[in-house]
Amino acid sequence: METLVVIGAGPKAMAVATKAHVLRELGLPAPRVVVVEAQAVGGNWLATGGWTDGRHRLGTSPEKDVGFPYRSTWARGHNRAINGAMMAYSWTSFLIDQGTYAEWVDRGRPSPQHHMWAKYLQWVATRIDLELVVGTVRSIAATADGWLLTAVDAAGIPTEIDADSLMITGPGHSEKALTKHPKVLSIAEFWDLAGKRKLPVSSRAAVIGGGETAGSALDELVGHGMLSISVISPMATIFTRGESYFENSLFSDPSTWSALSSEERREVIRRTDRGVFSVQVQETLLGDDRVHHMQGRVVRIADQGEGVALTLRNEMRPDQVHVVDLVIDATGGEPLWFLDMFDAHASDLLELAVGGRVTHARIESSIGYDLAVSGLDAKLYLPNLAALAQGPGFPNLSCLGELSDRVLRTDSVGARPAHVRNRVRAGR
């Protein structure tokens, strides 16, 4: 049986491992799924993960769970059974199991706090008997028949894990900050200090970034007695994710995505995903007259008196200097964070596959229907980079069931393609 290794036990890993479990239970072909996780299942949704304090709420509905949208269509004669079996691992099944379903409905189906979302993912992992390796992946080597990962556990003891195919999830590190300065915090430092109620005393704060990471940080900051809070992003303003049917359907059902031009796709992503706060966060911020948006990119940070002077660059006007007492770098993850783990051979293979030096743009446009980089024989699934080529819902929680279908789908049920080998490697 082929082994698919997933780095990171977040929602994407749970979606794929659960679908593989269901396929096997139905007697259909599926790879063995092994998940390698540095912290715990759902780790990035817990206070210890560096992306949240765990108390903020999901922006999307929890019904967009590991099976959503429950619409497998590729396994002729088995689709109903697959969709039905996946329901056993849904958010509502979790609540029923915990005895809190009626209360959740009666309270108006609230979005859960992040730590509760992690609890749901952990419940799924237990129910499917997830094959989990606890360790941090440090290196990824290309081998003659797949990938070889080296992970180290908390004691620094290494384990090697063989993979026929590999899926990489998560946003990478949350420790990066624009500069090393006691008043400029990474998102990890911010959540650590906010959780301990030890944020530096400050009256003017600036949050750099316009996505979910910045949204959660702002949601927290407004409760900390600042006099002014600036949100700095290159966008003309901060948009709200409208959550209308038309927007949402593009996220849940990427089938029409390929009919859009690349300019139209970029426009949808710009308007609905980048520089966009959830309706819930936007509602809190709208009512707070301390919160303002400033357009620009921070190009310089310097001490000024007791504060920090940020130089904002904006093509349309001269540089502006904005002085604050506290800066939070909430620009989010590094999309290509995993490249540092690739050995020279794996990097060469990726370069050959994408047709040149590995850049964000080249990888994005190389992602195929199966959410893997096209042109590599040993599959490398990168759903976080699949928005432009395959649909805006793949990097987030909008269509985890569709994501698992794309990764696990076989051309004809019962005939999973023969073991994949890496053509380029075979000559070495």
Ligand X SMILES: Cc1cc2nc3c(=O)[nH]c(=O)nc-3n(C[C@H](O)[C@H](O)[C@H](O)COP(=O)(O)OP(=O)(O)OC[C@H]3O[C@@H](n4cnc5c(N)ncnc54)[C@H](O)[C@@H]3O)c2cc1C
Give the Cα separation of 124 and 54 in Å (integer): 19
* Count of residues of this chain found to bind ligand X when the rule CB under 6 A is applied: 31
Q: What is the CA radius of gyration of the chain?
A: 22
Q: For residue 43, state whether it binds ligand X (rule: CB under 6 A).
A: yes
Judged by beta carbon, residue 31 or residue 49, the one nearer ligand X is 49
Judged by beta carbon, residue 16 or residue 178, the one nearer ligand X is 16
Q: For residue 10, state whether it binds ligand X (rule: CB under 6 A).
A: yes
In the numeric block, the tokens 């007791």 are attached to: 306
Polymer length in residues for the chain: 428
Q: How far is the CB of 67 from ligand X (least distance, A)?
A: 15
Q: Which of 202, 216, 331, 390 binds ligand X (CB under 6 A)?
A: 216
Pairing of strands 165-168, 3-7: parallel
Structure tokens at 245: 């049917």
Judged by beta carbon, residue 282 or residue 312, the one nearer ligand X is 282
Judged by beta carbon, residue 170 or residue 307, the one nearer ligand X is 170
CA torsion sign for 22, 64, 274, 338 is negative
Give the Cα separation of 12 and 35 in Å (integer): 11
SS3 203: coil
Q: For residue 36, state whether it binds ligand X (rule: CB under 6 A).
A: yes
Judged by beta carbon, residue 213 or residue 230, the one nearer ligand X is 213
Pairing of strands 136-143, 146-152: antiparallel
Judged by beta carbon, residue 16 or residue 413, the one nearer ligand X is 16
Judged by beta carbon, residue 37 or residue 325, the one nearer ligand X is 37
Interface stretch with ligand X, choices 22-30, 69-77, 100-108, 391-399 (CB under 6 A)? 391-399
Closest CA to 260 of 278, 235, 271, 404: 271
Judged by beta carbon, residue 36 or residue 86, the one nearer ligand X is 36
SS3 358: coil
Interface stretch with ligand X, choices 86-94, 208-216, 223-231, 292-300 (CB under 6 A)? 208-216
Judged by beta carbon, residue 307 or residue 333, the one nearer ligand X is 333
x/- track of binding to ligand X for residues 345-384 (CB under 6 A) = ---------------------------------------x
Distances (CA, A) of 397 to 10, 59, 276: 10, 10, 15
Interface stretch with ligand X, choices 21-29, 163-171, 307-315, 411-419 (CB under 6 A)? 163-171
Give Cα 325 distance to the centre of its chain.
30
Q: For residue 396, state whether it binds ligand X (rule: CB under 6 A).
A: yes
Closest CA to 279 of 243, 246, 328, 255: 243
Q: For residue 59, state whether it binds ligand X (rule: CB under 6 A).
A: yes
Q: For residue 38, state whether it binds ligand X (rule: CB under 6 A).
A: yes
- Give bridge partners of residue 5 from the DSSP assignment: 34, 166
Judged by beta carbon, residue 151 or residue 310, the one nearer ligand X is 151
Distances (CA, A) of 377 to 72, 372, 381, 423: 25, 10, 12, 6
Q: Which of 12, 119, 204, 322 binds ligand X (CB under 6 A)?
A: 12
Give the Cα separation of 253 and 402 in Å (integer): 8
Residues in region 130-149 near ligand X by CB under 6 A? 136-137
Give the Cα separation of 65 and 42 in Å (integer): 13
Q: For residue 8, state whether it binds ligand X (rule: CB under 6 A).
A: yes
Count the Cβ atoms, other than its own, within 10 Å of residue 21.
22
Q: For residue 37, state whether it binds ligand X (rule: CB under 6 A).
A: yes
Give the Cα separation of 350 and 347 in Å (integer): 5
Q: How far is the CB of 40 from ligand X (least distance, A)?
A: 7
Q: For residue 212, state whether it binds ligand X (rule: CB under 6 A).
A: yes
Q: For residue 167, state whether it binds ligand X (rule: CB under 6 A).
A: no
Structure tokens at 195: 């959780």
Give Cα 275 distance to the centre of its chain.
15
Q: For residue 219, state whether it binds ligand X (rule: CB under 6 A).
A: no
- Site for ligand X, rule CB under 6 A: 7-13, 36-39, 43-44, 49, 51-52, 58-60, 136-137, 169-171, 212-213, 216, 384, 396-398
